[in-house]
Amino acid sequence: MQVTIAPQATIAGGFRELDENRSGFAEHFAKIMGSDPRLKGRVLDVGCGKNGPDLPSKTGEMVFFPVIKQAKQLDGLDPFPEVVQNPHLTEKWVGTFEQCPVPEGAYDALLSFFVFEHVGDTQGFLKAAYRALKPGGVFYALTPSATHPFAWAVKVIETFNVKRQVERISNEGKVNRIPTYYRLNSPPTVAKAGAGVGFTALEVFYYPAINWETYFPRPLRFLPRMYDRVIGTRYRGASQQILFKLEKPK
């Protein structure tokens, strides 16, 4: 497996710029994915939900919609039945990637937005991805980095089964109820699992984000902000968000 780590993204305004534009990481990754001509072919959105990737920019526009709308055909799957309401999809499946009858060798590209952290069966998931791609196809996966404190905080919340309590004290109502494992959220784990099913190249892109403070009660939100100011916005490996680009050989 050939592994490439992309250069650190340049953020002229540092922490202040990130604080003013909380969707900056998404805009950065959308440009990377959107420039890939394979996204104009047949694309599968893995874990798309009923609306697709609905992260808004600071102007209110959906950041990833230009990426998915350029597809000649966009299909999707999700474990929840609401996926059948998704207006952007041609083919729709309800279930996990491993379970769905996705056609073999049909897709130029796969996309997943904040799905990797929820994958329990890493080999089964990536086998399904490899099988669905055409030769020379690509899989883009956006997810939080396993080395960021956000991932550690989520693991603690999962271990002690206190999601409801965290949701209540955060006053945000945004705690994800889906089980979270963080088994595919670092370059070594993705490279090892990807090579095991046949992928031959991995490119990794980091970008800092400061969107995790809502997991903390308000009196303690200075802690993640302090981390972001001192470490998270300055060092590539300390960035919160990570984009994996897996390549299937031609």
Strands (E), the chain: 2-5, 42-46, 73-78, 92-94, 107-113, 133-144, 201-207, 241-247
Terminal CA-CA length for the chain? 14
What letter represents residue 62's amino acid?
A: M
Name the residue type at position 146.
A
Label residue 152 left, alpha or beta by phi (over 0 means left) and psi (-120 to 50 means alpha): alpha
Rounded to whole angstroms, the Cα distance separating 91 from 132 reads 14
Question: pLDDT tens digits for the chain (250 residues)?
Answer: 999 999 988 888 889 999 999 999 999 999 999 999 999 999 999 999 998 887 877 777 889 999 999 999 999 999 999 999 999 999 999 999 999 999 999 999 999 999 999 999 999 999 999 999 999 999 999 999 999 998 987 877 777 665 555 555 554 545 566 788 999 999 999 999 999 999 999 999 999 998 888 778 888 899 999 999 999 988 999 999 999 999 999 9
pLDDT at position 162, please? Answer: 57
Q: Which CATH superfamily is domain 2-144+181-208+240-247 in?
A: Vaccinia Virus protein VP39 (3.40.50.150)
Q: Tell me, what's the pLDDT at 24?
A: 92
- pLDDT number for residue 5: 96
- Give the global pTM: 0.92
How far, in Å, CA of 2 to CA of 190, rounded? 12
pLDDT at 160: 64
CA distance 184 to 150: 15
The span from the CA of 165 to the CA of 206, in Å, is 31
- Are the beta carbons of 78 and 91 closer than 8 angstroms? no
Domain ranges of the chain: 2-144+181-208+240-247
Biggest CA pair distance of the chain: 53
Contact 140, 33 (CB under 8 A): yes
Amino acid at the residue 102: V
- pLDDT at residue 212, rounded to an integer: 86
Q: Which amino acid is at 47?
A: G
pLDDT of residue 113: 95
The two structure tokens encoding residue 60:
């209110």
**Tokens coding 116:** 């990797």
